[in-house]
Homo-oligomer: A and B are copies of this chain.
Amino acid sequence: MDQSLKLEHQICFQLYTASKELTRLYRPILAPLNLTYSQYLVMLVLWEEDGIDLRQLGSRLTLDSGTLSPLVKRLIQIGYVEKSRATDDERKIIVRLTESGSALREQAANVPLQVSGMLNIDEATYVAYMEMLTDIKARLHDFGERQREQ
């Protein structure tokens, strides 16, 4: 049979399952923080730069308003963030950490260490893998730009 159609030979499939399984690893770690994986990503962004608008948040995470609007709504219900309109541009919604959302950062501080411990990976390998993933994304973006040119 045509080898190229074999499931295990598809890089997309390996990426897809690796990502799913790593996310599964996060679930029990994030549960005590009362966060899903996607919500955790939003919190990571806000802990880096608080008070950004939804569009910026979306571009950091490659998520559109259809995903982010309800997700942020849930973070508001939990009490980790709050929304407000930007004064200079009434279209923009600013997302800001609450006291509780800020405080959560201390609790989350050990999450990365827990995960890398689970992966049992040394620093050099970790860096090499990060570069590969960055490269894959760069190739995808390059293709996107080549497309746009025509």
Binding site for B on A (CB under 8 A): 1-2, 4-7, 9-23, 25-26, 37, 41, 44-45, 47-48, 60-62, 105, 108-109, 111-113, 115, 118-121, 126, 128-130, 132-134, 136-137, 139-140, 142-143
Closest to A126 in B: B11
**Does more than half of chain A's interface fall in helix, strand or loop, or is it mixed?**
helix
Closest to A42 in B: B7
CA distance A41 to B7 in the complex (A): 7
The answer to whether B13 and A16 have CB atoms under 8 Å apart is: no
Q: Which residues of B contact A111 (CB under 8 A)?
A: 5
Closest to A24 in B: B140
Q: Which residues of B contact A137 (CB under 8 A)?
A: 14, 17-18, 21
Partner of A5, one of B14, B109, B129, B133: B109
CA distance A111 to B13 in the complex (A): 13
CA distance A130 to B129 in the complex (A): 11
CA distance A139 to B117 in the complex (A): 10
The answer to whether A119 and B140 have CB atoms under 8 Å apart is: yes
Q: A47-B5, A105-B5, A129-B136 are in contact. Are A15 and B18 (CB under 8 A)?
A: yes
